[in-house]
Amino acid sequence: MSFPRTSGILLHPTSLPGRFGIGDLGTSAYRFVDFLEESQQTLWQLLPLGPTGHGHSPYMAYSAMAGNPLLINLEALQGSGLLDEADLALTSSFAVEAVDYDAVYPYKLALLHKAAGRFKEIAEPETRTAFEQFRVDYASWLEDYSLFMALKEANHGAPWTQWEKALVQRDPEALDQARVNLAAEIFFHEYVQFEFHRQWSALKLYANERGIQIVGDMPIYVAHDSADVWAQPENFMLHPETLEPSLMAGVPPDYFSATGQLWGNPTYNWEIVEANGFSWWLQRLRALLDQVDMIRIDHFRAFAAYWAVPAGEETAIHGEWREAPGDAFFETVEQQLGQLPFIAEDLGLIDEKVEHLRDRFDLPGMKILQFAFGGDHKNPYLPFNVNHNFLIYTGTHDNDTTVGWFHQASDYEKHRLAAYVGAFNPDTVHWAMIRLAMGSVANQSVIPLQDLLGLGSEARMNTPGVATGNWAWRYSETMLTPTISEQLKQLTELYGRARDQVEQ
């Protein structure tokens, strides 16, 4: 479906300021929404909100449907009487400009355990009723997720394939016994998801009431070590005995990598998934639509064809393309859920089949301005080659910041950009690129907050292929100045993207 002409900011909540070492759903999140409203923005784009696993990547979560406990705001728990002021006092040692996950995770987890214990003891009847209703409403994924996390902790964090055989194979008697033995731990994870849901729902409502829509992110693949794969292994390409991935996801060798990218996620057993009416996917979409207003489909091309790499390979070189039932999938989704607000991440190796699938269902694609100034006038990322049904970005979470990109760009790219823009000050290259995005005919323009602030490579969110140092960047409260807000507002209004300019 096409969207109206609007603009917004890309910022993951972990990057918000605050005193607990990581951005959360507290006061700073509401102030960021206020900034969006004041600067006439309509979109707040996020990365996936799931509970992060390996490397703290939002794209490798323990669940495709649960929320990240680290985003829960502790001050709200104190306000509910579940924590004391003394519990929140030991925060001065946390880094301000980046998330130190090794320090933040145990600190927040200990306080969430304390809050869960207090909740069990002192929660008001109305709140207890809401909790019980939450358990009923979200039982389709909550029961498996809470049991999975409790078992993972009981097994000292080991992947589920290394647990006791009866639990790996989900023997009903073994699962029932685990539910008895781990009842307290299961309750903790249910409570944490309830609290995340309450806080996120309140923030989303605050944003929606101010004309701000939430753009969520849906990784096409899920982590092998996740509740999703453990609970429904038949949906994935797994070895029948070891239950390790038999086919792994990735992308083939290209200009950027001679060996391709091997992600390690299991690919889907599309034959089984389709035979079951895509039921797991429908469940996943319903859960995500409870959190967001629009859904960016990461690696959309895999709905047309996906790169499958056999188990045992150390690179993605020896994979093969396999067809996926994208047409049947999106037809089923429209029949069951109606026409959904999808955005297709169609970057990388795109062929006619991918474009046909995207265009058949009228899904907006993506364009990245940092890719626009290599090549010639036929470069598909140049603004005059972009049509209206796209989201145009200066860069995404996987790119360097615009300032960082410019400093490392080739002389050819710098000269092309200067010729394209005309009057050009390299010191404000980020505003030149923002102006190009805003002024394009693309229906939606989204700017990473780092680019709005004119930050360099030190503020990069993720470097693909690099295992450490990612997902940590944070901004400080003083960076979002009235001057930046006013300059963004003026450009938004100039190019017809302001909320009060949107045709209803």
Residues 282-310 pLDDT 10s:
999 999 999 999 999 999 999 999 999 99
What gap in Å lies between CA 82 and CA 114, rounded to an integer?
8
Distance in angstroms (rounded) separating the CA atoms of residues 174 and 94: 41
pLDDT of amino acid 438? 98
* Rounded percentage of the chain residues whose pLDDT exceeds 70: 99
Catalytic residue among 190, 225, 298, 400: 298
Question: Is 217 tagged catalytic?
Answer: no
326-332: average pLDDT: 97
Q: Is 500 a catalytic residue?
A: no
* Confidence (pLDDT) at 340: 86
Query: Of how many residues is the chain composed?
Result: 504
The answer to whether residues 249 and 221 touch, using CB atoms and an 8 Å cutoff, is: yes
| Amino acid type, 34 | D
Residues 195, 345, 413, 451: which is the catalytic one? 345
> Which carries the bigger pLDDT value, residue 338 or residue 255?
338
Give 297's strand partners. Answer: 218, 344
pLDDT at 480 over 90: yes
pLDDT above 90 as % of the chain:
92
- Main-chain dihedrals φ then ψ at residue 342, nearest 5 degrees: -85, 150
pTM of the model: 0.96
Query: Is residue 330 within 8 Å of residue 273, measured between CB atoms?
Result: no
- Closest of 386, 334, 379 to residue 360, by C-alpha: 334
Q: Does the annotation count 413 as an active-site position? A: no
pLDDT at 496 > cutoff 70: yes
pLDDT score at 257:
81
> Once rounded to an integer, what is the mean pLDDT over residues 159-180?
98
Tokens matching residue 35: 């900034």
User: Which of the four pLDDT bands, split at 50, 70 and 90, describes residue 108?
Assistant: very high
Round to whole Å and give the CA distance between 275 and 271. 6
| 43-53 pLDDT per residue, tens | 999 999 999 98
Neighbours of 490 (CB within 10 A): 13
Contact (CB, 8 A) for 429 and 403: yes
503 pLDDT tier (thresholds 50, 70, 90): low
Contacts of 86 (CB under 8 A, 6+ apart): none
The confidence score (pLDDT) of residue 137 equals 97
The pLDDT of residue 91? 66
Cα–Cα distance, 198 to 73 (Å, whole number)? 11
Place of tokens 């269902």: 361
**Res 464 pLDDT > 90:** no
336-359: pLDDT as tens digits:
999 889 999 999 878 999 999 999
Q: How far apart are CA 83 and CA 18, in angstroms?
A: 18
- pLDDT at position 258 over 80: yes
Which member of 34, 75, 143, 398 is catalytic?
398
* DSSP per-residue codes, 338-397: -S--EEE---SS--HHHHHHHHHTT--EEEEGGGTTSS-TT-TTSGGG--SSEEEES--T
Q: How far is CA 500 from CA 7, 37, 205, in A?
A: 12, 11, 19
Q: pLDDT by residue (tens digit) across 112-137?
A: 999 999 999 999 999 999 999 999 99
Q: List pLDDT tens digits, range 380-415.
A: 999 999 999 999 999 999 999 999 999 999 999 999
- Read off the pLDDT band of 333 (50, 70, 90): very high
What's the whole-number mean pLDDT along residues 160-167? 98
Mean pLDDT of the chain: 95
Residue closest to 487 by CA, chosen among 451, 440, 457: 451
Phi, psi of 272 (to 5 degrees): -70, -45
Average pLDDT over residues 419-423: 91
pLDDT at 504 over 90: no
Positive or negative: CA dihedral 301, 261, 56, 54: positive
- At position 2, the amino acid (one-letter code) is S
Q: Which residue would you say has higher pLDDT here, 158 or 466?
A: 158
Per-residue pLDDT band for 92 (boundaries 50, 70, 90) equals low
Name the helix (H) or strand (E) containing 159: none
In angstroms, the CA 411 to CA 406 distance is: 10
3-class secondary structure for 14-80? Answer: HHCCCCCCCCCCCHHHHHHHHHHHHCCCCEEECCCCCCECHHHCCCCECCCCCCCHHHCCHHHHHHC
Compute CA 30 distance to the chain's CA centroid, rounded to the nearest angstrom.
19
Judge residue 106's burial from the number of C-beta atoms within 10 Å of its C-beta, 0-12 exposed, 13-18 middle, 19 or more buried. exposed
- Per-residue pLDDT of 196-239, as tens digits, reads 999 999 999 999 999 999 999 999 999 999 999 999 999 999 99
DSSP 182: T
Cβ(472)–Cβ(101) below 8 Å: yes
